[in-house]
Amino acid sequence: MRILITGGAGFIGCNLAAHFTRLGHAVTIFDNFSRRGAEANLAWLQASAPAPAVIRGDVRDAAAIAAAARGQQAIFHLAGQVAVTTSVNDPRADFEANALGTFNTLEAARAAGTQPIFIYTSTNKVYGGMEAAQIVERDGRYTFADLPLGVPETWPLDFHSPYGCSKGAGDQYVRDYHRIYGLPTVVFRQSAIYGPRQFGVEDQGWLAYFAICAALGKPLTIYGDGRQVRDLLYVDDLARAFELAVQHIDRAAGQVYNLGGGPERSLSIWTETRPLLEALAGRPLSVAYGDWRPGDQRVYLSDIRKAKAALGWEPQVAPAEGLRRLWEWIQANRALFN
């Protein structure tokens, strides 16, 4: 199968490229290489055989993405702006990268001549602040009082922040291109994805950012009280979800799936993550605390039953094991973070 991955030099993109190349598919990555670590990820991909093809381009350029999409049999659309804080500071750039970029890529798929499978990486941020969900504190962590299995795909959409709006617009466009044009599209509303080749920063990729700071002895600030809870999905488990969606596109087309670790693979961001990192670092870790950031959810957990039932998919990697693998990658690649 000929597969195009937009944002293919990013964290998730390069892992998907490696996964599908190993399966024998002809992979092309399309990336503007603006994100930190993209060139290093490309070098890693090119060190393996066969290496994916590379197109340096931007999804904001309709002609460039249309040319790249021509003849492709599947398009995984990952390219875009990824941080809430960046979207607040520059909402126009966020809109152009995410909403317009997704529209351009959908139009490119429609004109590709192959009716390609189209998988879009959306976000749990499309559910907004979830003010209607009751939250309680138990055992040093926040949790949902009335959603023991997490947030289902039927939860009302409530785009919050420019980032939520731009990703949500793409989410809905992708859904509708199946209804209106018959394009076999799938939306993955992803929770916290983590793993090797993730160059986490303070406002995106929090677990990798914490691990990088702990490994390199850099200062770390926790915003809020550290009891906030997120479900975590290791990148290899996400890659299998993409693989299964392609295999089962007859039932996945037009569908939306929440993808995360679910309640069983969740951590409070510091009260439970701290001891795991301290065990890996072999020393106590100290942090500073800051005020809650606007719109920060006290808890988000994905209800992943729909993906399990439809795709036969289930996460395999527990957070402690996934964090260990991430830690070992950071230690083996310390030069990349200097």
Catalytic (active-site) positions: 163
Q: Count other Cβ atoms within 10 Å, centred on residue 83.
A: 16
Distance between CA atoms of residues 67 and 156, nearest Å:
36
Handedness of CA 300, 306, 309, 310 (dihedral sign): negative
For 188, the 3-state DSSP assignment is strand
Which residue type is seen at 279?
A
Distance between CA atoms of residues 164 and 26, nearest Å:
33
* The length of the chain, given as a count of residues: 338
Residue with tokens 């962590």: 141
Distance between CA atoms of residues 257 and 274, nearest Å:
30
- Please return the burial class of 218, using the count of CB atoms within 10 Å of its CB with bins 0-12, 13-18 and 19+: exposed
